A and B are shown apart, each in its own frame.
Chain A
Amino acid sequence: MLNQILSKVMVRLSSLKITVVCLFSLFVLVFVGTLAQVSYGIYQTQQRFFLSAFVWFDTGLGFSIPIMPGAELIGSIMIINLVAAIWTRNLLSVKKLGLGLMHVGMILLLVGAWITSAAGIESQMAIKEGQTATYSESSRVNELVFESSLNETQNKEYVISQDYLEKNTLVEDIQLPFTIKLLKVWPNAWLRRTSDLDNSQVKGLGQSISVAPKPLATQDNELNFFTVKIEILNKEGGSEGIWIVSRGLGAKQTVIIDDVSYDMSIRSERYYYPFTIKLKDFTHDVYPGTQIPKNFSSLVELNDSETGENRDVLVYMNHPLRYRGHTFFQASYGENNTLSVLQVVKNPGWTLPYASCLMISFGLCLHFLIKLAAFSNRQRKKVKG
């Protein structure tokens, strides 16, 4: 009984109609997503169309409605559809192994995309010649940081990600020596210096600043002025004051809690590494007599105190530095060729698309050979018959 119900459900799920609908939806999604890049920019389009289960439309009435499935939902349905197809058609049997491998390859491709979107991180590391970098920064996401001096050479940083600040109203943590109450969060804001508002309850720079919401930046060279209005409470629950902290404020603001001074600010989200990278030399070659770039390269010194690794690496086009799960590509430069910007990519699923392509190609060849063998067998029988 159970077997029969299960079989029926699996047959439904493996329907070719679902496959066609999914492929068509993907086609529409890619088309609409491409057009949407004009008004939303590439980052927002990726988030709204490809890294979400639904594409939401803001009705302007305070709520949003889903208007079409996003790539996450379509991908999930396709995986279920492929698994069901393998099951019902017994594609892993010897005779159908070619088809089976192609299906598994497809599943691997989709799972790879999922891993990349969920766990992949892209950031940028800007290093001046002669300087050493220990972290890279996100070009899109921000974080709230409280820095206190630990000793003469070290600082302690308490960092809360933008994502966490947007989803919570209270930041309380055993590691944090105070509690942060989020009174208001602006993903992007206009800041205006003014004296016409009653901001007397706000301390610091925010006292003479009015904040108004601003649509999210769409262009790559625009910054979002992520801004928060926070109340800091000491461990006894007493208020230490209200502050406005914004990416748009150049300066750090100081708050003193239990005789410890903390510099607070909002900065690009940072990723610290257990190794350091020093830029020894940046070279920007042009074709003689022109300004056409021929080659950009960064000579860096990699130093890892944990593994004892210390070596020089030349990073240039198509020759990134790969180290401990991170890939460093030459991305940009500046300040009269004394500053190099490396794009740092961490993608735990980077091998999956290669494995999947190999599997699909191998599956196709195998299926062709199996069919060819069956066909020649039949021909031979015909001739004999």
Chain B
Amino acid sequence: MYECANSYVDMNDRNIKYRVAGVLFLVFILIGFSGCEKQAGVQVYTVAKPEVQLKLPTQSDLTWTKPSSWKELDASGMRIGSFSIEGTNSQQAQVSIVRLAGSAGSLLANVNRWRGQLRLESMSSDELGSVVSERKIGSASVNFVSLESKVSLAQDNVLSKMVVAIIRKDSGSLFVKLMGPSKLVSDNEVTFNQFVASIKHK
């Protein structure tokens, strides 16, 4: 390819200046590009609010029958189903369905986490029997956990209650949780049990 591999031409001073300038220019271009960052630091945008709140894909392989008195809310985050129950004096209870892979922690660990939410002391595994009951729904055995707070969580002198149904299957664990003011939750326990029984795979 190269004709005169080992001979080079005379270079006078003027020539050399142009050549050095040319090479330096190329080197600068290359250094410039190698240091290119697509985005740096903080960018601030003013954007239009989204037209529609995008709904996360729900676990479409599950079906359930919603009790008529419950109001369905948008599923968000880890919830695949979410409902609210209106009571008297604008009291409100919430029902959520969360599915997690595997066993999602031991029963004791979960119970103590929920007890923490109700500001109750942690319990030992020997005491678990007092709050957990097991029932058969269809072919699955479901653990029901029922907990009630001893103090008011908000400053309204109303105690809170939580009922959680844990359905364990090979594909993962399903947690159906009802939480709200004690009386409202107790009134809705039968409806809640029927709702849990209605959850089926398509």
Contact = CB atoms under 8 A, between A and B. Distances in A.
**Do A and B assemble together?**
yes
Interface of A: 3, 6-7, 10-11, 16, 72, 76, 79, 83, 85, 87-90, 96, 99, 107, 111, 114-115, 118-119, 121, 131-132, 134-135, 149-150, 152-161, 163-164, 171, 173, 175-176, 193-196, 205, 208, 249-251, 269, 272
A118 B36 CA distance: 6
A119 B46 CA distance: 24
Contact of A196 (B33, B56, B105): B105
B: interface residue count bin = 35 or more
B23 A3 contact: no
Given A114-B33, A164-B41, A89 B47 contact: no
B49 A90 contact: no
A159 B78 contact: no
Contacts of B48: 134, 153-155
B4 interface: yes
Given A11-B8, A131-B51, A251-B78, A171 B42 contact: yes
List 7 tightest A-B contacts by C-beta distance, closest first.
A251-B77, A195-B113, A173-B42, A118-B36, A161-B39, A118-B33, A195-B109
Nearest to A209: B78
Interface string B94-109: 0000001000110001
Interface in B1-44: 1-6, 8-9, 11, 13, 16, 19-20, 22-23, 26, 29-30, 33-34, 36-44
Contacts of A115: 33
A16 B29 contact: no
Nearest to B100: A193
5 contacts: A88-B8, A89-B4, A156-B44, A163-B39, A171-B42
Contacts of B105: 193-196
Nearest to B175: A193
Given A87-B19, A249-B77, A195 B30 contact: no
B112 interface: yes
B152 interface: no
Interface of B: 1-6, 8-9, 11, 13, 16, 19-20, 22-23, 26, 29-30, 33-34, 36-49, 51, 56, 76-78, 100, 104-105, 109-110, 112-113
Contacts of B11: 3, 6-7
A195 B107 CA distance: 10
Contacts of A10: 8
Contacts of A154: 46-49
A89 B46 contact: no
A79 B29 CA distance: 12
A85 B44 contact: no
Contacts of A3: 11, 13, 16
Contacts of A99: 1, 3
Contacts of B3: 89, 96, 99
A134 B109 CA distance: 46
B113 A121 contact: no
Given A155-B49, A193-B78, A195-B105, A208 B42 contact: no
